[in-house]
Amino acid sequence: MDLDKAIQGRRSIREYSERKVSLDNIAEVLDAARFAPAAGNIQNFYFVIVEDKKKRKQIAEACNQIWMEKAPVHIALCNSPGRLKVLYKKFGDHYSVQNCAIASQNIMLKAFSLNLGTCFVGSFNKNKIESLLKIPPKVKVEGIITLGFVKKQEEIPRKLELRRITYFEEFGKNLK
């Protein structure tokens, strides 16, 4: 698939069909995450795949996003920052979140290339999610990515013009 098509075509999907996502497709999207750049090449991310209907409903409730329970797969993106904190000291937590963010983008772009929809959900009750998924104390959940076949395609949202978000040499300095 053309990269520009994937970047511009990917949407945050909130309506999924009931069609099951194959384990091969799930593995492909997660494999794409492995190739994300990572500070020090320390791949501090882990993924918890949830297909169980009851657990998906509980996750949706913990996120206060009821539409999520219709997505046939939830991917909990987890962050284990320990090694990054040792290597990068006070910047370790920051880099570990960045690593997870980049891995998430790879997941969503790869899913799009497989004709699957995704939505990143970053707001949730941390304690409920960690308890439900039995996340160990030194690991944090950074977000949940819903995954499935698209029932309703979202419209292209309006994007700012490049000239409105780009400066040269210093913030606020436009090209003359």
Write out pLDDT tens, residues 58-100: 999 999 999 999 999 999 999 999 998 988 999 999 999 999 9
Average confidence score pLDDT of the chain: 94
Looking at residues 124-142, what average pLDDT do you find? 97
pTM here is 0.92
Report residue 128 as tokens. Answer: 């409920």
Report residue 92 as tokens. Answer: 């370790």
pLDDT score at 143:
98
SS3 120: strand
**Hey, what's the torsion of the CAs at 151, 120, 101, 138, to 10 degrees?**
-130
Does the structure show a pLDDT above 90 at 5? no
Q: Which domains does the chain have, with CATH numbers?
A: 3-151 (3.40.109.10)
Give residue 156's pLDDT band: very low, low, confident or very high (50, 70, 90): confident
Give residue 128's pLDDT band: very low, low, confident or very high (50, 70, 90): very high
- Show the DSSP H helices in the chain as ranges: 3-9, 23-34, 53-63, 82-88, 92-113, 126-132, 162-165
Beta-bridge mates of residue 120: 145
pLDDT score at 46:
96
Higher pLDDT, 162 or 47: 47
Does the structure show a pLDDT above 80 at 20? yes
Does the structure show a pLDDT above 80 at 1? no
pLDDT score at 101:
97
